[in-house]
Chains A and B, each alone.
Chain A
């Protein structure tokens, strides 16, 4: 019942925001901005830049709201997709996105790794920040956003093999860092 009410309220908010009603836009912003800033932060190291990207993404969202024809429950995914595109565009403009072309077949599959202790959000963010931009972007897209390699390749305009190699290297680095961290606490 609550979900139905939430979606009905969201429908109304979207309609009002489409009519450029600032209050409705602000409510939508308040509802989605925190999660979207977190998403931006996964791709962008600097929180200020992440906020700038968030602002640009929401401007685009409100301007393109007329084009959103899907149901209210799809709104979150639609917003998320715009934010991801904006973050990747930012990285491209900053020329941070580099994908060294390595032969993926040379890499051996990493062995499974289990966490002996819970890992915090701050720790994960720190490890992600240490990754090169290309590795981190592919890792976030594949592991957190659950994009298939083909979609990542299309989005980043790289080959599927490059996407897999970037992911492999990202996992390898993260595993090393996490095992060091686990060993410290154990």
Chain B
């Protein structure tokens, strides 16, 4: 059997069978498929990357929005008072508080007391406008409270004090010290209430009436 095995081996090892063309075409077809698979792989990876970018984009956007609430609570601009050489009044400058301003902001140099009234509402940021409106409202309320708390007599006193300060001569000072406001008012009232003055006025009116009447009859 050993010889038979050797014979079979030698016969079959040297044998060749020519394959059909179909065999090669199917090989080429199979070899071309990985290129298609690589496209699929590329699209898969691309899609995955796009998905990740979208996910992180949405995530960061959400994060930014949640941070935005804190952002709104913080003042974006800070008023800083400073003195300018050659000017007595202090000026205010608006500076960014570390955030990038959404509007182009010029540094304003205006007196502090004029700032709120003149420029507060010119800022386009809704948050800032609301802030300044609140400040203004508070200021008006404060002024109303002050006005309500002050009586008219206090105001008269203040006016008298102002008038006294304007009178500078010594004689004036003596007269002011001797005459009070109440006495002067009382004098005026008595003059008005005097009967002779009234009759004088009445006689004058009556005389003028008669003149007018005679003139009319002459016509």
Contact = CB atoms under 8 A, between A and B. Distances in A.
A58 B9 contact: no
Given A51-B23, A144-B9, A38 B17 contact: yes
Given A29-B27, A55-B23, A171-B1, A41 B17 contact: yes
Contacts of A54: 19, 23
A33 B23 contact: yes
> On chain A, which size bracket covers the interface?
35 or more
B30 interface: yes
A114 B3 contact: yes
A59 B27 contact: yes
Contact of B19 (A51, A62, A113): A51
Contacts of B27: 25, 29, 55, 58-59, 62
A110 interface: yes
A104 interface: no
A78 interface: no
Interface in A22-63: 22, 25-26, 29, 33-35, 37-38, 41-42, 47, 51-52, 54-56, 58-59, 62-63
Contacts of A174: 4
A124 interface: yes
Contacts of A112: 1-3
Nearest to A51: B23
B18 interface: yes
Interface string B1-20: 11111011101110111111
A115 interface: yes
B30 A144 contact: no
B31 interface: yes
B4 A144 contact: no
A169 interface: no
A42 B24 CA distance: 20
Contacts of B23: 33, 37, 51, 54-55, 58
A143 interface: yes
B106 to A, nearest CB: 66
B28 interface: yes
Contacts of B13: 144
Residue in A26, A55, A112, A175 whose Cβ sees the most chain B Cβ within 10 Å:
A55
A121 B12 contact: yes
B115 to A, nearest CB: 76
Nearest to B9: A144
A131 interface: no
B84 to A, nearest CB: 77
A113 B17 contact: no
Contacts of A26: 24
A153 interface: no
A52 B3 CA distance: 33
Residue in B4, B15, B17 whose Cβ sees the most chain A Cβ within 10 Å:
B17
Nearest to B15: A38
24 contacts: A25-B27, A34-B17, A35-B15, A37-B16, A37-B23, A38-B17, A41-B17, A51-B20, A51-B22, A55-B23, A55-B27, A62-B27, A110-B1, A112-B1, A112-B3, A115-B4, A124-B8, A125-B12, A143-B8, A143-B9, A144-B12, A144-B13, A171-B1, A175-B1
Interface of B: 1-5, 7-9, 11-13, 15-20, 22-24, 26-28, 30-31, 34
Name the 8 nearest CB pairs between A and B, nearest first. Answer: A34-B16, A59-B30, A37-B17, A38-B15, A55-B26, A113-B1, A38-B17, A51-B23
